[in-house]
């Protein structure tokens, strides 16, 4: 079956983490008017869709991923009128708005929860997941993602509620039909307001095993174990299909689910067109795991597997960065000597794969990880939890700090670096999270006019995609280069094609001559500042895109 929404193949999505993008009023917190004032940046790049991380009312236990009012705007970010203005301005610029929708859980300050927790027999009693104590303790041994038990006791009910994330993020009870109706009508309200897509948060945990068996995974240092039976539940897929029928199928709404998928088959289950769940999926991999397991070979393998399993009947989200990951140039590239070439190489990799490219704010200028001097400088709840787990396991505090520096989600959340003025032009006040000190060198203003900057590389890639059906529609084939660090691939469509080589290493590598027989003109090079492609002996992090001979 062919994908019916063909337009999604032409999307280039830019993710904004509003708290860190641009502050318009000097309170140190990014906001909607700030985004509005920088929309030209998105247009200049050429992107045509904006994924807005949550801007709903929230007490900010998890920076907006804990929603206390789904049809309201967070006060710090502005008003609903500001949101309407942003929508209108996006429309004028041909940018579709994709809202981040968090419906696995709400905030504990949502009125639904306030009511639900008040007694066992109120009308919202079943909106959350309540269980009696077992032998005076939590119902099972499950750990919350952000530390401690996944259960919290409420004296008014004499019961525990379940929270997969922090205790301020109680899980919504998807087994309750009235709750599901509330969610669908709320999402439809946003569709009626002009939202053209949803990125649906943490969506693979909706269905819960009603008997909540103990997890058999080994305990974390604090004694609790991560659940071992929350992913891949058929009931979750049923809920997603119902959401699709009730919310997206009637309109022209694009969807991307953030999913935990242990296998490529399970990933495909969320996006195969005939299953009518999502248009694309963002697989979630914990940063620690990613840091410890990634390699160029694995990147290539994962890209191929996700492609091979559904070359026709589904579509892919392609990304290396988001607000939950360390910065891509620090993780997969080199943020020292080869900063510029490696940042361009990573861009050239993502933008030449089949699927929709996602750009996370700051990636387009090569923003890097941050190294805060003290643990106290970190804000992210999962960073704080991870640090405490290290300390509980007996690790030396300086070692624990050096590890969380690599893993922290705050690496991606430091303020956007606009220029070399104080606080990188992000705010005139005190930023909620410290600015990366390298803002003097790495900022938008320094790169905008420079034809050889990382920013210009992104701009050129986006422009190339728009004029080259081989990139947006073509088949993928990986080439055998004989070297795991040298990735070679082709994209072809109706007899026309591109050939791409990417040297993912600090060493030189040579393209086997047999692979160069069909090359035509050089379209892009990560060494454009140095004069471009100079032959098959590729330099560290050299990447090149050739046109194939017709
Ligand atoms: C998703 C979000 C992440 C958040 C979590 C809980 O993984 O991307 O930022 O902490 O869900 O909502
Ligand atoms: Ca502000």
Q: Does 66 contact ligand 1 (Cβ within 6 A)?
A: no
Active-site annotation holds for 279: no
- Spell out the residues 6+ positions from residue 408 whose beta carbon is closer than 8 angstroms to its own: 287, 326, 378, 380, 383
Q: If you measure from the C-alpha of residue 163 to the centroid of ligand 2, how many angstroms do you get, rounded to a whole number?
A: 30
d(CA 131, CA 434): 41
> Domain for residue 457, yes or no?
no
Q: Does 407 contact ligand 1 (Cβ within 6 A)?
A: no
For residue 4, the model assigns a pLDDT of 62
> Domain for residue 224, yes or no?
no
Bridge partners for 255 per DSSP: 198
Q: Does 528 contact ligand 1 (Cβ within 6 A)?
A: no
The two tokens of residue 214 are 């103990």
Residue 349: exposed, middle, or buried by beta-carbon count in 10 A (0-12, 13-18, 19+)? buried
Q: Does 201 contact ligand 1 (Cβ within 6 A)?
A: yes
> Domain for residue 454, yes or no?
no
> Domain for residue 211, yes or no?
no
List the catalytic residue out of 23, 62, 66, 201.
201
Yes or no: say if 409 and 429 are a contact pair by the CB < 8 Å rule.
no
Half-sphere exposure of 544 (CA within 13 A, CB side): 27
Yes or no: say if 313 and 1 are a contact pair by the CB < 8 Å rule.
yes
Q: What is the CATH number of the domain that holds 136?
A: 3.90.400.10
> Domain for residue 218, yes or no?
no
Residues 257 and 351 in one domain: yes
d(CA 316, CA 355): 4
Q: If you measure from the C-alpha of residue 30 to the centroid of ligand 2, how many angstroms do you get, rounded to a whole number?
A: 5
Mutate to test the pocket of ligand 1, among 20, 202, 283, 385 (most ligand atoms within 8 A of CB): 202
| Sequential pLDDT tens for the chain (550 residues) | 344 688 999 999 999 999 999 999 999 999 999 999 999 999 999 999 999 999 999 999 999 999 999 999 999 999 999 999 999 999 999 999 999 999 999 999 999 999 999 999 999 999 999 999 999 999 999 999 999 999 999 999 999 999 999 999 999 999 999 999 999 999 999 999 999 999 999 999 999 999 999 999 999 999 999 999 999 999 999 999 999 999 987 668 999 999 999 999 999 999 999 999 999 999 999 999 999 999 999 999 999 999 999 888 899 999 999 999 999 999 999 999 999 999 999 999 999 999 999 999 999 999 999 999 999 999 999 999 999 999 999 999 999 999 999 999 999 999 999 999 999 999 999 999 999 999 999 999 999 999 999 999 999 999 999 999 999 999 999 999 999 999 999 999 999 999 999 999 999 999 999 999 999 999 999 999 999 999 999 999 999 999 999 7
Residue 85: exposed, middle, or buried by beta-carbon count in 10 A (0-12, 13-18, 19+)? middle
DSSP 319-360: -S--TTS--HHHHTS-SSTTHHHHHHHHHHHHHTSSSEEEEE
The number of the ligand 1 atom at minimal distance from the alpha carbon of 146 is 10
Residues 336 and 399 in one domain: no
> Domain for residue 465, yes or no?
no
Yes or no: say if 129 and 227 are a contact pair by the CB < 8 Å rule.
no
For residue 3, the model assigns a pLDDT of 47
Q: Order the strands of the 543-548 sheet from edge to edge.
A: 475-479, 486-493, 496-503, 543-548, 519-525
For residue 251, the model assigns a pLDDT of 64
Q: If you measure from the C-alpha of residue 23 to the centroid of ligand 2, how many angstroms do you get, rounded to a whole number?
A: 4
d(CA 386, CA 393): 11
Q: What is the CATH number of the domain that holds 507?
A: 2.60.40.1180
Residues 95 and 201 in one domain: yes
d(CA 226, CA 348): 36
**Number of structural domains, the chain?**
4
Residues 273 and 421 in one domain: yes
Ligand nearest to the CA of 82: 2
Residues 200 and 319 in one domain: yes
d(CA 319, CA 141): 34
Ligand nearest to the CA of 34: 2
Say what the pTM is: 0.97
d(CA 141, CA 226): 8
Q: Does 102 contact ligand 1 (Cβ within 6 A)?
A: yes
Among residues 409, 432, 459, the one where a domain terminates is: 409
Residues 293 and 202 in one domain: yes
Q: Does 100 contact ligand 1 (Cβ within 6 A)?
A: no
Q: Does 364 contact ligand 1 (Cβ within 6 A)?
A: no
The two tokens of residue 297 are 């070979």
Residues 504 and 366 in one domain: no
Q: Does 360 contact ligand 1 (Cβ within 6 A)?
A: no
Mutate to test the pocket of ligand 1, among 15, 165, 200 (most ligand atoms within 8 A of CB): 165
Q: Count each helix (H run) and each strand (E run) in the chain, helices first.
A: 16, 20
The two tokens of residue 310 are 């559904």
For residue 2, the model assigns a pLDDT of 40
Residue nearest to atom 9 of ligand 1 (CA): 324
Yes or no: say if 83 and 182 are a contact pair by the CB < 8 Å rule.
no
Give 532-535 contacts, CB < 8 A, sequence gap 24+: none
Active-site annotation holds for 171: no
Residues 238 and 307 in one domain: yes
Residues 375 and 364 in one domain: no
The two tokens of residue 7 are 């337009």
Please list all protein residues whose beta carbon sits less than 5 angstroms from ligand 2, which is an ion: 23, 25, 27, 29, 31
Residues 12 and 84 in one domain: yes
Residue nearest to atom 6 of ligand 1 (CA): 65
Which region, left, alpha or beta, applies to residue 367 given φ > 0 means left and ψ of -120 to 50 means alpha? beta
For residue 148, the model assigns a pLDDT of 96
Q: Does 150 contact ligand 1 (Cβ within 6 A)?
A: no
Residue nearest to atom 2 of ligand 1 (CA): 201
For residue 83, the model assigns a pLDDT of 98
Q: Which of 229, 68, 32 is nearest to 150 (CA)?
A: 229
Which alpha helices (DSSP H) does 174-254 contain, by range? 177-192, 234-243
Domain that holds residue 378: 371-409
d(CA 158, CA 359): 46
Q: If you measure from the C-alpha of residue 375 to the centroid of ligand 2, how many angstroms do you get, rounded to a whole number?
A: 25
The number of the ligand 1 atom at minimal distance from the alpha carbon of 323 is 9
Residues 97 and 242 in one domain: yes
The two tokens of residue 88 are 């209108």
Q: What is the CATH number of the domain that holds 100?
A: 3.20.20.80
List the catalytic residue out of 152, 258, 279, 407.
258
> Burial code of 219-244, b = ≥16 C-beta within 10 A, e = fewer?
ebeeebbbbeebebbeebbebbeebb
Yes or no: say if 283 and 325 are a contact pair by the CB < 8 Å rule.
no
> Domain for residue 255, yes or no?
yes
d(CA 89, CA 194): 12
Yes or no: say if 447 and 456 are a contact pair by the CB < 8 Å rule.
yes
Phi, psi for 376 (deg, rounded to 5): -60, -25
Residues 148 and 184 in one domain: no
d(CA 525, CA 542): 7
Ligand nearest to the CA of 259: 1
> Domain for residue 141, yes or no?
yes
d(CA 87, CA 84): 5
Q: Does 412 contact ligand 1 (Cβ within 6 A)?
A: no
């Amino acid at each position: 079956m062919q994908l019916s929404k063909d337009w999604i193949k032409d999307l280039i999505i830019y993710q904004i983490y509003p708290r860190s993008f641009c502050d318009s009023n000097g309170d140190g917190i990014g906001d909607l008017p700030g985004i509005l004032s920088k929309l030209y940046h998105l247009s200049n790049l050429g992107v045509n869709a904006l994924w807005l991380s949550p801007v709903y009312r929230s007490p900010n236990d998890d920076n907006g991923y804990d929603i206390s009012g789904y049809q309201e705007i967070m006060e710090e970010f502005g008003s609903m009128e500001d949101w309407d203005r942003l929508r209108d301005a996006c429309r004028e610029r041909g940018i579709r708005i994709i809202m981040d929708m968090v419906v696995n859980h709400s905030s504990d300050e949502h009125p639904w929860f306030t009511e639900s927790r008040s007694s066992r027999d109120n009308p919202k009693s079943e909106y959350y997941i309540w269980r009696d104590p077992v032998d005076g303790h939590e119902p099972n041994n499950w750990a919350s993602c952000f530390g401690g038990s996944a259960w919290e006791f409420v004296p008014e009910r004499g019961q525990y509620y379940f929270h997969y994330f922090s205790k301020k993020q109680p899980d919504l009870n998807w087994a309750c039909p009235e709750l599901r109706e509330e969610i669908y009508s709320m999402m439809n309200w946003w569709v009626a307001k002009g939202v053209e897509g949803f990125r649906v948060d943490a969506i693979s945990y909706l269905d819960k095993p009603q008997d909540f068996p103990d997890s058999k995974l080994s305990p974390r240092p604090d004694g609790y174990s991560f659940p071992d039976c929350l992913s891949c539940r058929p009931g979750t897929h049923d809920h997603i299909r119902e959401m699709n029928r009730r919310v997206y199928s009637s309109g022209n709404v694009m969807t991307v689910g953030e999913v935990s998928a242990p296998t490529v088959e399970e990933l495909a289950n969320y996006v195969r067109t005939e299953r009518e769940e999502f248009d694309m999926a963002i697989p979630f991999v914990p940063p620690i795991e990613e840091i410890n397991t990634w390699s160029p070979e694995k990147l290539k393998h994962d890209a191929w597997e996700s492609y091979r399993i559904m070359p026709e009947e589904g579509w892919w989200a392609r990304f290396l960065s988001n607000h939950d990951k360390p910065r891509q140039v620090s993780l997969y590239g080199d943020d020292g000597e080869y900063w510029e070439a490696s940042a361009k190489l990573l861009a050239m990799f993502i933008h030449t794969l089949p699927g929709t490219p996602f750009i996370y704010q700051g990636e387009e200028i090569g923003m890097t990880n941050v190294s805060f001097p003290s643990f106290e400088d970190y804000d992210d709840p999962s960073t704080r939890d991870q640090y405490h787990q290290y300390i509980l396991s007996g690790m030396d505090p300086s070692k624990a700090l050096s590890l969380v520096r690599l893993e922290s989600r705050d690496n991606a959340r430091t303020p956007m670096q606009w220029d070399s003025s104080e606080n990188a032009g992000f705010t005139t006040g005190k930023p909620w999270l410290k600015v990366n000190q390298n803002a003097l060198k790495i900022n938008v203003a320094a790169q905008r006019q420079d034809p050889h900057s990382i920013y210009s590389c992104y701009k050129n890639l986006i422009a190339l995609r728009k004029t080259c059906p081989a990139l947006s529609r073509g088949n993928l084939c990986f080439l055998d280069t004989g070297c795991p660090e040298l990735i070679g691939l082709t994209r072809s469509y109706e007899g026309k094609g591109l050939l791409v080589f990417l040297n993912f290493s600090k060493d030189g590598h040579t393209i086997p001559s047999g692979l160069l027989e069909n090359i035509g003109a050089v379209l892009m090079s990560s060494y454009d500042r140095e004069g471009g492609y100079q032959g098959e002996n590729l330099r560290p992090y050299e990447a090149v895109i050739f046109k194939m001979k017709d």
